[in-house]
Every structure is written in C-alpha cells, then in structure tokens.
Structure 1
Amino acid sequence: MFSVKLSVLHIFIILWRYYTSTGQICFVHPRKFLVTVSEWTRSIGRRKTKVRMPEIQLGAHTVRSHGVKVARTHMHDWIILLLLIVIEVILNVIEPFHRFVGEDMMTDLKYPMKDNTVPFWAVPMLAIMLPLFVILVYYFIRKDVYDLHHAILGLLFSVLITGVITDAIKDAVGRPRPDFFWRCFPDGKGVFDPVTKDVMCTGIKSVIKEGHKSFPSGHTSWSFAGLGFLALYLSGKIRVFDRQGHVAKLCIIFLPLLIAALVGISRVDDYWHHWQDVFAGGLLGLTVSSFCYLQFFPAPYEVDGWGPHAYFQMLAESRNVNQSNGLNVQQAELESVYVDSQHCRELSRVNTHDSSPILEGTNGRMGY
C-alpha cells in the first residue's frame, strides 16, 4: 500500500493533462500512477522550499564568499573616494582667501589663543574609527558582507564629502577666527596699512593661514558626518522606529549625536570658532551623512530599514531565479507525464491487438 498525501485538485490536473494530450483517459496500473503522482508532489514540495530559501540567512554572505564580487561592483565608487582624498589634500595646501580685517573689527577677534580640547588627531578617531568599530562588530555577529561593504563605503563618502565641502568653503570665505588678533600680532602690537587700514600681520605664516579658516567648523562637520552616520546606522539595526515605544533605543541613538555636539561646543569654548561656524558645520555634517546613508540603506523607519538596498536586491534576484527554475522543472515533469501517457496508450493497443481480434475489428470500423 502506498500512502500519498495529494489534494483532489492535483489529481484532477494530472488526469486532465492525460486526457487533453491523448484524447482519452489512459488506464495505467494503480501502483505506477501512485508512484508518478507521489514523485510529482515531492518535486513540488522541493520547488516550494527552493523558492523560500532566499530569506535572512546568518553567515550566508561573508567577505570570503562574496567580498570580491561586491567590491568589484562598486569599483568606481572606491576610485571616487581616492579622488576625494586627493582633493582634500589640495584644499588644505592652498592659501585661503585673506578677508579684509580693519582695526575696528579686531574688537571681536581678540580672544586668547588656547590649545584644542579635542585635538586634530582625535577627530578621525571619533568620526571614522568609532563608527567603523561598530560596523565591524555587527559584521562579526551578522556575517553580511553587503552590510559591511556598504556601511564602510557610506561612512567614508559621508566624511570625505563633508571634508571637501568644508575645506572648500573655508578657503573661499576666509573668515578670521576669534583669536585672529594674537595669531596676526603675537607681540600684541597691531600694525595696519596706512591707506587701506587692513591688517599687516607679523606672526608665523602657517598660524596666520590657519586663522583665516573659521567658517565652517571642520571639527564639527567631520564629527557630525561620521557620528551622524553612525546614529542612522544604529537606528536601523536596533529598529528604533518599530512603534514599540522603547525610549532606551533613542538614548543609544542620541549618544553619538551628543558626542558630536560636545566636540562643536569645545570649538567655541577654545575660541577657535564662532558659534555660527559650529552651527553651520553641524548642519552640513548631518545633511551629508543623511544623503550618504540613504544612498545605501533604506530609511530607518521603513520595514526593511535594518539592511542595505543591495542585500534586498540580491534576495529578489535569487527568488526570481528560483521561481524560474521551478517553472522549468514543472514543465519538464508535465512533458514526462505526457510521454508516459503516450507509452501507456501504445502498450494498450498492442495488448488489445494480441488478445482480442474482435476489438481490433471494432476499432477499425470506428476509425481509430
């Protein structure tokens, strides 16, 4: 006895296929029919399993298995990153615009020179290395090279685009820093042109050059570019906007933004920037980081906000391929059923011819 779980609809489809292909119902041996039906239903189950396979799979897409493929796909993006680095270096080398600074303007530019509370080397650590560390930790947990690659690419684009825009504006505007007087006149004695009344600085050239780069704040823009990207990245991963009302998730998201804000405040406290410089730098960094994040990831409030666009595109393509393969297999099985039915009909004719001449004559008169 064969126990086969088959719906009435599937049996009807098979019998109808037999009838439409042969013109008659082929009476095959029950055992053979049940075996054929059983194999067909099992193949359907296998195809359904294959269609459902492209789901969220931990460890399915690692650096070793898909890293080279993903990197090659975005090779032009990495080339653009290298060009941005070259542009950033050039912008730091060229001389900024020397804005006119009269004697009456020095009143707001006589703040004392102080050391940086947040040194220059600490900015890349906060804006790049800290988000990169979080991204790598998530990769070791998730094992998703798509997320790793696009997060790193988005982070670097966010920081470098922000840096290029910031330094380009710095060089073009040439706004003096709040401590410009002491940069220009280290001895405290102001010297001005007798005709134009412009400053005639006597200080160190490199210090004076840096004194013309107040707007916007580079520390602030870089910090908000990197830490703002990190905040968006974390908001998608921990699903802050899942409508569950977990305020603790918001505290995690606000922490990188708070660090970036404190960096900006330190620039005002150190008299390296005016408050307008810090405000503009923070706004610039957040804007660029948002654009760069949305270029690679869905918005954090969306259902699929936890993963990159490329990952879901890959799943969709895999699902379409599996569905196409399933349809091809189903067509091949139907053709196999048709061939079996033809073979069955031929065997039936041979058996009738050998066993019953009367039936042969009857069939001949009926035109078969």
Structure 2
Amino acid sequence: MQAPACTNAPACTFPFATMQSHGVRIARSHAYDWVALLLLIAMECVLNAIEPFHRFVGEGMIADLRYPLKSNTVPVWAVPIVAVIAPMLIFIAIYIWRRNAYDLHHATIGILFSVLITGVLTDAIKNAVGRPRPNFFWRCFPDGIAVYDNITTAVICHGDASVIKEGHKSFPSGHSSWSFAGLGFLSWYLAGKITVFDRRGHVAKLCVVILPLLVAAVIAISRVDDYWHHWQDVFAGGILGMVIASVCYLQFFPPPSDDKGFWPHAHFRYISDREEESRRRRTTEMSNSDSTAVVPRQGETGANTSRTLDAMESERVCKRVPAARVGTGTHRRWKSMSNTTTPALLAKLRGTKLREIG
C-alpha cells in the first residue's frame, strides 16, 4: 500500500497506516519486544510468590506500627484498569481519528513496558527491603495480644501467614508506582498529541496533561490515608513510576516539545524509507528512458556500427539546433554547439555549410 507522505502530523487527516494494512508487519518487526513483555509478566509472577525479607521488628518499634488495618480505598484490581486499560482506550480513540497503526502499536507497547518494568522493580525492592507497613501490629497480632521474644524482644507473630507476608512489603508503594507509570506515560502521550509545548501559552492544554498526574497522585495519597504505606513509600513509588514512564515514552516517541512530537519515531522512519524507495524508482525509470541500445545488424562491422551511432547523434543534435544565421551568428552557434557536441560530430558538421532551418 502506497502511504502518503505525512510529516506535518496535526494536518494529517487521511488514513496513513491502518491495522489492516500494516498491523501484521508492525507486530512482526517488534516480535522480540512482545516476547520481552511476556518475560516481564513471568518475572512479576515469580516476585509475587517469593517470601519477602522479614525485617526485625522489636517491642520498641511496634508503637509506630499500630495504625488500624483498613480496607483499600482503591482496590488492587482497579489500578491496572485506571493506569493501563483507560489510557489504551484513549490510544484507540486517537487511532480511530488519525488512522496510524504505528502510533497505536507503539503507544500500547510503550505503556505495557512502562507498567511491567515498574512492577518488576517495585516488587524486587519490596522483597529486598522488607519494610513493615504502618498497620503491621494488627497483621502480626490480629487478636491484639502482643508476644515478644524474651531475649531479642522481636515480635512473635501469630496471625495469618499471607497477611503477615503482605505486611513486609511497604517500600515502595506499588499503587503509587503503577499509577505514575501508566498515567505518567499517558500524560507524556497527551502532551505530544495536543502540542502542549507549541510556545503559544495555552494553559488549557497544560491542564489536560496534568489531569492524569493528578489522578495518580490521588491514588498514591490514598495509600497513606489507608495506613498501608508510609509517606516515604508513596513518594519513592511515584518517582520510580514517573522515571520509567518517561524513559519508555521517549524510547518510542520524540519529546512533546519537538516539531515531530505528534507521531512515533517509526512513523518518520517509514516515511523516510518510502521516500528513498520512490527516489530510487524514479532514478531507475529516468535512466532507462534516456538510454537507447543499438544492436548491430547481422553482418554489420564495428565501423558500420560506429557510423550508425554518429548518424543518430547528428540527427539528434540537428533536431535540437534552432535556426542559425551565417556570418557572426553562425560563429556564435558553432561556439555554443561545441559545448554540448562531441568533437567528431563537430568536425563532420563544420565540413558542410549550415543552412538556415525554418
């Protein structure tokens, strides 16, 4: 399919590359990336199954960990919906509007990489640090009766094992990191699509870009309000998610402040390849049309072939030579012809008086 050269992104309203025409080829060219995503999912499952480091919690420390054990304001299952599925719906809406399969594919794979890389790093740090949550006391002693070691004064938990395991995963906040990884990527994406940094000073565009970050911040703050995380956990998770989102976005898209920030890098690479292919095709066609092959007839010698070529060249030049006058005009004409005609042909033509043509 011949794609139109669409480099002025916001002005492109015609179909450029649909999923029907380019989807399979794009997916095949990024097959290794999709395999990497599957590996990240497997790593995430393994990290969730691993028992985290049980950091020492003594009798003197438990006073700061007696916050009530509340339910989640934002459930765990709601985070992927808000941070991944909702942005993907926006990607699909823009695809329906602009019909660019490169944009849809790279936005989708970019946000998946963002949240999965963030999730793997978050869970790996959780397991390694093993920081107790603010409500660890009630996880360890659900009946409120504390039991400590007589020598080390370490807590001797008698609560549910899975609840205690989750109690050692405070740092960093997974809700916070996932929210900023997904919604931070969406914020970058919207900044490029609405050209927020076009130097025209439209504050309304900036508000649209900040809105996803505000939603992520509200989700992160709810973790402190629910006493599931310390404020340091939420802050670190937000920074981690936003950094990974920025890296993943810039891997696939130019910066929003760039003149080409509307489309992904692959869009312009495809345009460049098609233009180069078109230039090569035109060059080949022009060279084929300008070249005339002379095949010697049977029995014709090399000298006869040379004379045939001289005659063809003479005929071609005479057709291009306009009316020429004798005297001074003829001299000027011979001088101009000498710049474009072979010496052998000029010698042949100079032997004959040039008559006025036309």
Alpha-carbon distance between aligned partners in 1 of 2:194 and 2:310, rounded to the nearest angstrom: 57
Return the TM-score normalized by structure 1: 0.78
Corresponding residue SS for 1:104: coil
Structure 2 counterpart of 1:259, from 215, 222, 228? 215
- In the TM superposition, residue 337 of structure 1 has moved relative to its aligned partner by 12
Cα RMSD of the aligned pairs, angstroms, is: 2.6
Higher relative contact order (CA 8 A, sep 6+): 1
Alignment match, 2:103: 147
**Counterpart in 2 of 1:306?**
262
Give me the whole-angstrom Cα distance separating, in 1, the residues matched to 2:61 and 2:80: 34
TM-aligned CA distance change 1:244 to 1:347, over 3 Å: closer
Deviations 1:223-260 (A, max 9, x none): 00000000000000000000011000000000000000
Residue by residue over 1:265-303, the C-alpha shift from the partner in whole angstroms, topping out at 9 and shown as x without a partner, is 000000000000000000000000000000000011100
Among 165, 168, 191, the residue aligned to 2:121 = 165
Separation in structure 2 between the aligned mates of residue 190 and residue 198 of structure 1, nearest angstrom? 10
Other-structure match for 2:291: 335
1:54 aligned partner: 5
Identify the match of residue 156 of structure 2 among 195, 200, 204: 200
- The 1-side partners of 2:269 and 2:256 are apart by 17
Q: Amino acid of the residue matched to residue 85 of structure 1?
A: I
Q: What SS does structure 1 have at the residue aligned with 2:61?
A: helix
Give the stretch that moved more between structures: 103-112 or 190-199. Answer: 190-199
Q: Residue 237 of structure 2 aligns to a residue in which SS?
A: helix
Deviations along 1:142-185, one digit per CA (max 9) or x if unpaired, are 11000011000000000000000000000000000000001000
Q: Is the 8 A contact 2:37 2:112 kept in 1?
A: yes
Residues 1:288 and 2:239 are matched in the alignment: no
In 1, distance between residues paired with 2:239 and 2:158?
35
Which residue in the other structure is 2:194 paired with? Answer: 238
User: What is the deviation of 1:344?
Assistant: 7.2
Give 1:335 shift: 2.6
Match of 2:145 among 178, 184, 189: 189
For 2:142 and 2:122, locate their aligned partners in 1 and report how far apart those are by CA, in whole Å. Answer: 28
Unmatched 5+ residue regions in structure 2? 295-307, 319-347, 353-358
Number of residue pairs the alignment of both structures matches = 305
Offset at residue 365 of structure 1 (A) = 11
For residue 343 of structure 1, report the CA deviation from its aligned partner.
4.0
Deviation at 1:315, TM superposition (A): 0.4
- Asked whether 1:319 is paired with 2:270, we answer no
Greater helix content: 1
For the Cα contact (< 8 Å) 2:6–2:16, is it kept in 1? no
Distance 1:231 1:112 in 2: 35
Aligned twin of 1:229: 185
Q: What's the offset of the Cα at 1:189? A: 1.2
Residue 63 of structure 2, aligned match among 107, 110, 129: 107
- Look up the equivalent residue of 2:276 and give its one-letter code: N
2:76 to 117, 120, 123: 120
Corresponding residue to 2:41 among 72, 85, 94: 85
CA shift for structure 1 position 322? 1.1
3-state SS of 2:275 partner: helix
| TM superposition shift of 1:318 | 0.8
The alpha-carbon deviation at position 364 of structure 1 amounts to 11
Residues 248, 195 of structure 1: alpha-carbon distance in 2 compared, 3 angstrom cutoff: same
The alignment status of 1:212 with 2:163, answered yes or no, reads no
Superposed displacement of residue 348, structure 1: 11
- Write the letter of the residue equivalent to 2:218: L
- Cα drift, residue 222 of structure 1: 0.2
Which amino acid in structure 2 is aligned with residue 140 of structure 1? I
After superposition, the C-alpha distances for 1:191-233 in whole angstroms (9 at most, x for unaligned) are: 1111222110011111100000000000000000000000000
The normalised TM-score by structure 2 is: 0.80
The alpha-carbon deviation at position 321 of structure 1 amounts to 1.2
C-alpha distance 79-102 of structure 1, shift in aligned 2 (>3 A) = same
Check 1:342–1:284 CA distance in 2 against 1; reply closer, same or farther (3 A cut): farther
